[in-house]
């Protein structure tokens, strides 16, 4: 177990005890020496954890304490690094640069032992698949954040082209394609649009009439309904 994981475990153990608990009891629960326990208590106190008490009297964690956001377990560090490295290899240049910058910012404020874990992670991202976007996905992401309508030309799988005005609320990232999820005013329904088939993007200042969270929830419900129908057709629906 790494030191960072041990500190997190100590916080969780202290949370389970509403009254002062002796250092020996804590050390026994964690499987460490009493000396290591005292050192870990001092480290957490130095990082701002409101742990009251002292050797011989017992320790208690004051209620309401929130873990510092930059205390990660080994697996959390691996997840952050792997995800950031994957995004950094995507064709969306601004998002790629943002992933690299975010990882650098996290590394800059991590404790030394965690920073070493960050640099030494053995999880790697393979070469990205060749993908060509017909539009600037940065504009799509901006429209989603601001809940603004988007206009564009769309070419379907058969090559037929149509003009669309949509309410974008999500983007799906796949190995070879990016897919925008939106409410389409032309079709009056939810639609999925491949970014490589979109062109002539027109980012408007018109706010669409529904909240993004509401659209996302309703769209997910349609997926659940579709899946339930497929299960029923196979005789597995409940």
Asked if residue 67 belongs to a domain, the reply is no
Phi, psi angles (nearest 5°) of residue 153: -100, 140
The answer to whether residues 144 and 223 belong to one domain is yes
CA angle 106, 111, 113 (to 5 degrees): 110
238 is a domain residue: no
CATH number at residue 164: 2.30.30
Whether 85 and 46 share a structural domain:
no
Enumerate residue ranges in the chain where pLDDT < 50.
228-229, 231-238
Look at residue 105 and tell me if it is in a domain: yes
Residue-by-residue DSSP string for 145-195: HHTEEEEEEEE-TTS-EEEEEEEEEEEEE-SS-EEEEEEETTTTEEEEEEG
Q: What is the pLDDT of residue 130?
A: 62
Q: Residue 142's pLDDT is what?
A: 93
Q: Same domain, yes or no, for 37 and 106?
A: no
Q: 35 and 107, same structural domain? A: no
Residue 126 in domain: no
pLDDT at 53: 85
Determine the pLDDT at residue 67. Answer: 57
Instruction: Write down the pLDDT at residue 134.
Output: 72
Q: 42: domain CATH number? A: 1.10.10.10
pLDDT at 232: 40
Mean pLDDT of the chain, nearest integer: 83
Quick: pLDDT tens for 3-49: 777 888 888 888 888 788 999 999 998 899 999 999 999 988 888 88
Does the pTM of the predicted model rise above 0.75? no
Domain that holds residue 166: 137-232
Cβ-in-10-Å burial (0-12, 13-18, 19+) of 125 comes to middle
Say how many domains are in the chain. Answer: 3
């Amino acid at each position: 177990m790494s030191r960072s994981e041990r500190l997190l475990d100590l916080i969780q153990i202290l949370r389970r005890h509403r009254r002062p608990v002796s250092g020996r009891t804590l050390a026994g629960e964690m499987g460490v020496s009493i000396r290591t326990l005292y050192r870990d208590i001092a480290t957490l106190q130095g990082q701002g954890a409101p742990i009251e008490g002292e050797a011989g009297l017992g320790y208690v964690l004051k209620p309401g304490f929130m873990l510092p956001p930059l205390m990660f377990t080994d697996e959390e560090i691996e997840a952050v690094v792997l995800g950031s490295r994957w995004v950094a290899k995507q064709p969306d240049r601004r998002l790629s640069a943002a992933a690299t910058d975010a990882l650098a910012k996290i590394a800059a404020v991590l404790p030394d032992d965690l920073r070493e874990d960050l640099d030494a992670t053995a999880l790697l991202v393979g070469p990205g698949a060749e993908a060509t976007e017909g539009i600037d996905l940065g504009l799509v992401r901006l429209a989603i954040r601001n809940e603004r309508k988007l206009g564009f030309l769309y070419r379907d799988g058969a090559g037929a082209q149509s003009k669309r005005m949509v309410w974008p609320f999500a983007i799906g990232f796949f190995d070879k394609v990016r897919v925008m999820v939106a409410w389409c005013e032309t079709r009056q329904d939810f639609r999925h649009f491949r970014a490589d088939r979109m062109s002539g993007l027109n980012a408007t200042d018109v706010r669409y009439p529904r909240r993004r969270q509401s659209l996302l929830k309703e769209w997910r419900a349609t997926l659940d309904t579709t899946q339930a129908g497929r299960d029923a057709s196979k005789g597995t629906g409940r």
